[in-house]
Structure 1
C-alpha cells in the first residue's frame, strides 16, 4: 500500500515558505515525537539548508511517545550541525515557554529591538503547529482542528519588538517514497482520511504493536496476543467491542475495529508508543536498499549525517 496526499494548496505554501525563509532567522520545525523522522518534511530540510538557517526541532506530543525512543531521537538530532532538538507537549505552558530562549541560542546575533528574533514555524499537517502558535501568542491566532491541513495560509505575528513569528500551513511532500512512512503518517492522522483505508493502516499498526508493544494491547483490550497475527488482533478487537455489520449474520466489521485501534493509538489510550527509533529506521532503510527500493531522497534515512 502506497499512501500519497498532497492537496493543491501545499504547492503554493511551499513557494511562499521559501520566500519567507529568506527573512527568518531560525526554523522551528514541529515533529510528531512518535515518528520524528517520518514526520520531518524533506522539503523543509532543503529550504533551510539552501538559506543556511539553523533549526530547532520540537518533538511534540512527547507525552504520547515512548520516552526511551524519544531520548534516542534527541541524541540523534542534537548530533547534527545547526540543530537543537527538544521534547515537548504544546499543551503544556511550561514547555512552550522554553522555545524562544532555545531558538535565541541558535541565533545569538538577533537579540534586541533593532534586530528582533524571527522564527518560522514549520511542519507537516496535524503535528501541533497551530496549538503551538496559540500558546506562544497566548491567544487564539491559528485555527485548531482534529483534521490535517486546517491552516492553509501563512501569517506573521509580532509578539514583541524583539520576537516575530511566521506561521506556515502544514506541508507534506509530493511523493512519500518510504511505504512505511505513509502508514505511520496515516496512523498518526497527518494525511487526509481519503488517502488511506482504516483496515489496511490498522492491520499494519496491529502487526507493529504485536512485535514491539504486545503488553499494551493486552492491557487495553483484555486478550492474550500469543500466537496471534495482525488480522487476529483486529478480529479480537471487533469481538470485544461488538463491531458487527448489521444484516450480515454477525459478520465482524473489521474496518470499524481497525478505526478503534487507530484512535486508541492517536489518543494515547493504548499507552506511550513510538513507531520508529533511529536504529529501527536504519534497519528499515537497509532492507529497502537490499531490495533495490531505497528512497531517492536521502533525508528519509537516518544514517546520512546531514542536518
Structure 2
C-alpha cells in the first residue's frame, strides 16, 4: 500500500498526494458502514489499480485533530483572518473561530489584513487580542506589510486558514506563493461583504515547507456541540481568574464575588470578549432545551 495525504475531496472522489504524485481515489465501502467520512488532511493508505491508475483509500490513520467546520483533519495551527475594514470585523464571529480553535487545541494566530485602510483600528484590535493571550499580526497585501512574518508562521506547519469572505485570505496566500493562483473575491459595494470564491476545502503544498488549507468563507459558526461547563475554559483570559471566584461552579453570569466579572469591570478582560462569552453560553443553553 502507498502512504499519502488527502488534499481534496469532490463528489465522492478523494485526491491523495503521495511521494509518487497525486492519485484520484474512491473510499472503501467499509468507511460508510462505520460512518467514517474521509477528510482533507487525513493521512491514508491507498492501493492503485495498475490499469486505470485510480486508487482506493484502504486505511485512515488516527487523527491528531478534527475540525467540524471546515471539515479537516490533522491541522496543528489556525490562522484566523479578518480585515480591519471592507468588510468591518465582526468580533463575535472572530471569537467563535477562536473558541473553535481552542476546543480543537491547535495553536492560533490572529491576522488582521488591510491594515493600510485604518492603522488606528488595527492597533486597537491588536491590543484587544494580544491582551486576550493571542499572537496577532497585521498585513497589507497592497503595501506588502507583514508578508514575510506571515510566511514564517506558515513554514513547516499544517495550517487551517479561515475567516469570513472578502477579508483577503486568498490574496494573502497568493502573496505568499504566487503559483497557487487562488481566486480572489470582490467586495460587493452594496453590502460590503465578500463574494464566495473558494468552493471547496483544499490542502495546498507550500514551496517554503508545510501545507495550508484554503477554505470557504463563513458568515456563521455553530458551536452547539460544546458543553456549558467547557465554554469558560475556551476563553484563555478567563482561566487565570476563575480560581479566585467565590463559587467552584461559577459560570461568571449572575454569581456574586466573581473574579472574571471583576476583571471585566477593571478592564483586565475586554467587555467585547466577555459579551461574546455570554452570548455563546446563552446559545448553548437554548440548544440544550431541544
TM-score by length of 1: 0.45
Which structure carries more relative contact order (alpha carbon 8 Å, separation 6+)? 1
